[in-house]
Amino acid sequence: MGLGVNLHSLNYDMLDDCVDLFIDTFSKAPWHDVYESRKQVIDFFENYMKNNYFIGYVLKIGDELAGLCLGAKKPCLQGMEYFIDQFCVSDKFQGQGAGSKFLELIEFDIKKQEINTIVLTTSKGFPSEKFYIKNGFKTSANAILLAK
């Protein structure tokens, strides 16, 4: 990562570029997500950003948007934790350490905010599972994801 790598808080000025990166990333393999419209994704971002506990980040390499992270802080018995809901890195920067650097910068920033844990979910068998494990995340033996 020879170019300037910078972490920024996600704000409304960045919304269009972040929506583009999100759609571009998650509409491709291995996710193949399909969206009703661009407005659907914009609404998703705006709903997150209106949340009082919202914490969003963007990674810039030079002047380029290289990654984005949407999440929220939430109380837990040990204090506060940061739940990452969406995390992606542009195809252009994947496989070069940008994602790992992005997580490192996020972890440093949340610790400054006295948030002591990062929690996330991902799909079993997807490249993201290996990525997160490589970056120190562990599966929880006593937790399962349920939906109805």
pLDDT of residue 146: 86
Query: Would you tell me how many other CB atoms lie within 10 Å of the CB of residue 146?
Result: 5
What tens digit of pLDDT does each residue of 24-55 get?
999 999 999 999 999 999 999 999 999 999 99
The span from the CA of 112 to the CA of 106, in Å, is: 10
The span from the CA of 81 to the CA of 128, in Å, is: 21
pLDDT band for position 142 (50/70/90)? confident
The answer on pLDDT for 123 being more than 90 is: no
pTM of the model: 0.92
The span from the CA of 80 to the CA of 117, in Å, is: 7
Percentage helix, strand, coil, to 5, in the chain? 35, 30, 35
Percent of the chain exceeding pLDDT 90 equals 84
